[in-house]
Amino acid sequence: MNEIAHDSSAKLLTMAGQIADFYKSSGATAPEAIAGHINKFWTPKMREDFLAAAGGRTLEPAALEAARGLVKRRKAQAF
């Protein structure tokens, strides 16, 4: 991974963490709220890059669940 791509990935992971911190008070619905925010405000490229960067990384539990939710939505929309 080149330096620019790594920097972009790091920024997306940081942003997802900040979104997770914001929605943490939502409790059990936090992952859904995070995924909804990402789907609404991030471009498809940003979402794809985030999912690629999130694999194998330590994320906030709610952000990790949101990433899993994004993957499920993406697979469901493919059909």
Of 13, 10, 6, 7, nearest to 38 by C-alpha is 13
CA distance 60 to 64: 6
- Close Cβ partners of 49 (under 8 Å, ≥ 6 residues apart): 8, 9, 12
Q: What is the total count of domains within the chain?
A: 1
Residue 64 is predicted with a pLDDT of 75
Query: What is the average per-residue pLDDT within 18-28?
Result: 88
Note down the domain range covering 18.
3-77
Residue 24 is predicted with a pLDDT of 86
Residue 77 is predicted with a pLDDT of 65
Residue 79 is predicted with a pLDDT of 41
Q: Per the structure block, which two tokens stand in for 46? A: 């940003």
Residue 12 is predicted with a pLDDT of 92
In one letter, which amino acid is 30?
A: A
Q: pLDDT tens across 27-55, in order?
A: 888 888 888 898 899 998 998 898 888 87
